[in-house]
Structure formats: structure tokens, C-alpha cells
């Protein structure tokens, strides 16, 4: 049955910590540690009526991983048809058809499908890099769109999160630390107040290369909590015990 869901060049990978299977391909953008960390970091509203929307969903990794945390409906929004198709087949693979729906649409069209102010949780793992004329982009279109703001900008993703969320709804973003100033600026413009921040460092003596942010819709200003930093690799270039726990559910 599982193999019947696969197309040429595709494989099934598993996030062991949550027993979630996901269809991937080396030809397109596969999920990275960033997606796993975002789903782990997220502290969503969990009740059965709480709607969750995953923007820039790719092949559905964050949405699928979040399915073990939330009880309500999940919408995965992805503009690239091939990735959306992979995500939909992963929904079937994990028997989540009654809870999760993949929307193969432009993020900016979300409000045509989802009522504004109706969403409890928004997650987003957006393209990290601004589309500048001199920017060197991957010749693989799937990778270029996933990494550079060719189809959607940081400002647009945060604006849509703000419009989708109900008051006291929660937004969870993963991005690059060097863009944290912009992120806070756009969140402020869209009535999203940052409340939790965690920096991720490749090694304990290296600068952070990932930032995780939780923001509250219509939240009071101030009161940002900076969590202890997360270190990805130890001195032996192996995952640290904490990252192993996130990936595998136990230290291995």
C-alpha cells in the first residue's frame, strides 16, 4: 500500500520521535532539521475546534509533525503543485484524511479558502533569502522557490498569519537570525507580539544560524522570553543529545 503512493524518484522517510512517515524526493526540496525544530518548538492551542494553518508547507513536513500535537483540522498551504501532491499523498500515508487538507494555492489567496480571524495556530517555514538581482539561486526551480522569496516575501507571510489568526491565536516561525529585526517589525505591524524566542547554534562556539519565534495575536507588548539556546552538533560532529531526542524520541 505504501509503495503504491510513491512516484518515480520518491522515497518514504520517518520522523521516529512521532512515528510520522513522509514522502520525499531528492529532485525537490526535502524537509530539513528546521521543519522538525519548528514543529517541536510550537506550543499550539490543542483543542478539537482549534484550526491550524501551515504556510509555505512544502511537502507537508511541519503539518504532519504537528498532527501529533493538535486535535483540530490542519490546512497545509503550498504553491508548488508537485510538493503539494507529495504532501497530500503523505496525508493518506499517515491516515490523516479526516483532519488534514492540502491547499495547492498562492499563500496570498488563503483568505479565499480560510475565513480571516478563524485560526488558532499558524506555522511557517518560509523562504529565508531576499530575491535580489545579484542573488545566486539554485538552478533547481523547486529549491530556488523554497530558499528565495521568488513567490512570497517575509512581509507577506507575517501579514497573512496576522489576518488568519483569531485574537490570542499563536504564530510560530522559523527563520534566519539576521532577519530577526525585520520579523519583529512586520509582526508589530500585524498585531503579533513576540513572546518566545530560541536561537539554534550549529555548535556551542558558533554563531546561531536558526531562530524560532512564537508570537501572540493581539498580545500585550513586552514580556519576550528567550529560551536556552539549542546546540545542533557536539565536538564529534554528531547530533547532541537534545537534538537526538527531538528526532528519535530518545537518546541514541
Please list the pLDDT of the chain residue by residue as tens digits (252 residues).
Answer: 466 789 998 999 998 888 999 999 988 877 889 999 999 999 999 999 999 999 999 999 999 999 999 999 999 999 999 999 999 999 999 999 999 999 999 999 999 999 999 999 999 999 886 765 666 655 656 555 556 556 789 999 999 999 999 999 999 999 999 999 999 999 999 999 999 999 999 999 999 999 999 999 999 998 999 999 999 999 999 999 999 999 998 654
Cell numbers standing for residue 184: 519583529
CATH number of the domain within which 144 lies: 3.40.50.150
| Residue 191 domain-assigned (yes or no) | yes
Helices 33-41 and 241-248, interaxial angle, to 10°? 80
Distances (CA, A) of 163 to 62, 169, 213, 220: 20, 11, 18, 18
Helix (H, G, I), strand (E, B) or coil at 170: strand
Pairing of strands 10-15, 20-25: antiparallel
| Residue 252 domain-assigned (yes or no) | no
| Residue 143 domain-assigned (yes or no) | yes
Sign of CA dihedral 173, 227, 230, 241: negative
Q: Which DSSP state fits 179?
A: G
Question: Is 64 in contact with 90 (CB distance < 8 Å)?
Answer: yes
- How far, in whole angstroms, is CA 206 from its chain's centroid? 24
| Residue 149 domain-assigned (yes or no) | yes
Q: How far apart are CA 187 and CA 198, in angstroms?
A: 17
Predicted pLDDT of residue 134: 62
Structural domain total, the chain:
1
Reference 108, options 76, 79, 73; nearest CA is 79
Predicted pLDDT of residue 146: 57
Q: What's the pTM? A: 0.92
Cell numbers standing for residue 209: 544560524
| φ, ψ of residue 74 in degrees (nearest 5) | -125, 135
Residue whose entry in the numeric block shows the C-alpha cell 522517510: 13
Q: How far apart are CA 86 and CA 107, in angstroms?
A: 18
| Residue 39 domain-assigned (yes or no) | yes
| Residue 179 domain-assigned (yes or no) | yes
| Residue 189 domain-assigned (yes or no) | yes
Which residue segment(s) compose the domain that 217 sits in?
Answer: 3-247
Q: How far apart are CA 104 and CA 102, in angstroms?
A: 6
Q: Among the residues of the chain, which ranges form H helices? A: 33-41, 61-66, 81-93, 110-113, 141-147, 154-164, 180-189, 241-248
Question: Is 81 in contact with 104 (CB distance < 8 Å)?
Answer: yes
Beta bridge partners of 196: 214, 225
Amino acid at each position: 500500500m505504501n509503495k503504491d503512493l510513491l512516484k518515480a524518484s520518491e522515497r518514504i522517510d520517518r520522523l521516529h520521535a512521532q512515528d510520522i512517515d513522509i514522502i520525499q524526493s531528492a529532485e525537490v526540496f526535502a524537509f530539513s532539521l528546521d521543519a522538525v525544530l519548528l514543529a517541536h518548538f510550537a506550543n499550539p492551542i490543542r483543542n478539537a475546534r482549534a484550526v491550524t494553518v501551515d504556510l509555505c508547507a512544502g511537502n507537508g513536513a511541519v503539518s504532519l509533525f504537528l498532527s501529533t500535537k493538535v486535535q483540530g483540522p490542519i490546512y497545509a498551504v503550498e504553491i508548488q503543485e508537485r510538493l503539494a501532491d507529495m504532501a497530500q499523498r503523505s496525508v493518506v500515508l499517515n491516515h490523516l484524511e479526516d483532519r488534514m487538507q492540502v491547499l495547492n494555492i498562492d499563500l496570498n489567496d488563503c483568505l479565499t479558502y480560510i475565513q480571516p480571524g478563524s485560526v488558532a495556530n499558524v506555522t511557517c517555514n518560509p523562504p529565508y533569502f531576499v530575491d535580489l538581482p545579484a542573488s545566486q539561486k539554485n538552478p533547481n526551480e523547486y529549491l530556488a522557490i523554497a530558499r528565495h522569496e521568488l513567490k512570497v516575501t517575509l512581509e507577506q507571510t507575517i501579514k497573512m498569519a496576522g489576518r488568519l489568526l483569531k485574537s490570542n491565536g499563536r504564530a510560530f516561525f522559523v527563520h534566519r537570525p539576521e532577519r530577526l529585526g525585520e520579523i519583529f517589525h512586520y509582526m508589530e505591524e500585524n498585531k503579533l507580539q513576540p513572546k518566545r524566542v530560541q536561537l539554534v547554534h550549529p555548535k556551542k562556539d558558533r554563531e546561531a544560524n536558526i531562530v524560532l519565534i512564537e508570537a501572540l495575536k493581539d498580545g500585550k507588548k513586552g514580556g519576550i522570553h528567550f529560551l536556552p539556546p539549542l546546540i545542533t552538533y557536539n565536538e564529534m560532529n554528531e547530533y547532541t543529545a537534545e537534538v537526538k531526542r527531538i528526532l528519535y524520541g530518545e537518546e541514541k
